[in-house]
Structure 1
């Protein structure tokens, strides 16, 4: 059975953002569009750069040109890896509308594909390391652009973690200090969040982890703990609490490609990092209108 297209997870509200993106890019007159007019043209989308990349952001690219009455024909599937330079798609429509949507569509595709490529790379490293847990991106996303960035993570094969403050409770040091203790913070949160939301608690020591598990945390985030210390701590917590409580262990803080293998250890269930989306190199794409044949 063919799995449904990943774009089906997107909420219907995202399409309204396309108009906002186009309005931001052309707030008044389209001077260049006046020159080329509405003559029908065909443009080739090329995936460039110097290294293999994962194609991601197809729904956003499609919607930009759909709004502008253009048609997109893809020559590969989203999530596939291409070797540059690759003729990825062909876009057909009025010349001025091809150019009107060009930069907005390319920016979306470049950012989303960059995140998907980095996410796939992190997942491959973790898989090679024998890691059986989940790689997840963080909420350190660009305001107004989170949906695109989280979608890129999913295309890359990793977990999007929580998408917003409402989708899971995460109690960090500021929450705990303000409420008085880990136990109080969890109890107060559970009294309003109910049974349907997970509670993820950041801890910095073994004693804090024990308190969080005893108080009913669903996920315990072992923050900025690395190497053998992380492995030994995770094993002790699973041995001590595994038969008494149901919980997941998460490692986070300062994770990058260089130390990924030391953090991707199997007593850990979740490895969360912002390295798959912050400061990620965009994938270079270009859209070239083809000269009409004589």
Structure 2
């Protein structure tokens, strides 16, 4: 768990501050009519947590108000689990009331969504740990364009693995990559036979390793043991068993680990495809190293927060 090794905000790239500036501009692109009504009165606002969940997104919340010239005093730490049926005073924002209200909705939207993702990731991971599984729960790249850094951050706060952040972070060869590589330069109208896709995997892996060098891992999505063996034999670092049944996963993962034991090939087995908190335990077994799912960041709920303003 990354959070146990230090402050997660130190992972954030500098461009997240530009994104927040863009989001503030999106919310008030011209005249601030509400701000005109409020004027320049100084005040403060209490950030209230109103539903159960884990607080995540503190650096983004802070940056919103920092750009507006406000200060924040936090009364709880990021990663704190808010209790159900209780209103928790999480932080106090101080500054011109007009500026507090200017950043209110942007800050709350980010915090609510990021906290919802952290809560979902933590809940699913806890369910898997309760089954005795010790592997890695990871998110996927099915993130919201422009909001990826917030979603990946929430996954980390929730204790799960963010997986790869973008196309430059590890090379993942999915079926389309292998198909395209296999048919690259083929005669007009020629196509690789579906039954021979395993034969095309080594070419794709070799090309990926040539481009990425020693520092970039290669993962291959596979649909069968034959394809998995081809990927491992070609030097893939990770094989993803995609859309296997729970029983199929158990058989395939065990077979791969046993058949390649002592042959000088080190690899991880990842399982993906339709995993949710309700069914993930059925896929968790000792020979599976990673379960990856979009369900911990796509379509998740939120943690409810509000800001209540008072004048000084």
Residue 42 of structure 1 aligns to a residue in which SS? strand
Query: Which residue pairs with 1:94 in the alignment?
Result: 96
Query: Which residue pairs with 1:36 in the alignment?
Result: 38
| CA distance in 2: counterparts of 1:60 and 1:95, whole angstroms | 19
The question of whether the paired residues in 1 share the 8 Å contact of 2:170 and 2:217 is answered with yes
Runs of 4+ in 1 over 4 A off after TM superposition: none
The answer to whether 1:62 aligns with 2:49 is no
The question of whether the paired residues in 2 share the 8 Å contact of 1:123 and 1:158 is answered with yes
Q: Give structure 1 stretches of 5+ with no counterpart.
A: none
| Matched residues, number | 289
| CA distance in 2: counterparts of 1:291 and 1:147, whole angstroms | 34
| CA distance in 2: counterparts of 1:211 and 1:93, whole angstroms | 61
| CA distance in 1: counterparts of 2:277 and 2:245, whole angstroms | 14
| CA distance in 2: counterparts of 1:146 and 1:115, whole angstroms | 12
The answer to whether 1:219 aligns with 2:221 is no
Question: Per the alignment, do residues 3 and 227 of structure 1 end up closer, same or farther by CA in structure 2, a change over 3 Å counting?
Answer: closer
| CA distance in 2: counterparts of 1:45 and 1:115, whole angstroms | 19
| CA distance in 1: counterparts of 2:261 and 2:73, whole angstroms | 52
| CA distance in 2: counterparts of 1:161 and 1:209, whole angstroms | 20
Residue 78 of structure 2 aligns to a residue in which SS? coil
Picking from 258, 272, 275, the partner of 1:252 is 272
Alignment of 1:103-252 (within 5 A): 103-180=105-182, 181-244=200-263, 245-252=265-272
TM-score normalised over the length of structure 1:
0.96
Query: Which residue pairs with 2:29 in the alignment?
Result: 27
Shift of 1:291: 5.5
Query: Which residue pairs with 1:274 in the alignment?
Result: 294
Shift of 1:178: 1.2
The question of whether the paired residues in 1 share the 8 Å contact of 2:42 and 2:311 is answered with no
Residue 258 of structure 1 aligns to a residue in which SS? coil
| CA distance in 2: counterparts of 1:275 and 1:166, whole angstroms | 23
The question of whether the paired residues in 2 share the 8 Å contact of 1:134 and 1:271 is answered with yes
| CA distance in 2: counterparts of 1:40 and 1:226, whole angstroms | 60
Residue 111 of structure 1 aligns to a residue in which SS? helix
CA RMSD of the aligned region, Å? 1.1
Residue 290 of structure 1 aligns to a residue in which SS? strand
TM-score normalised over the length of structure 2:
0.90
Shift of 1:183: 1.1
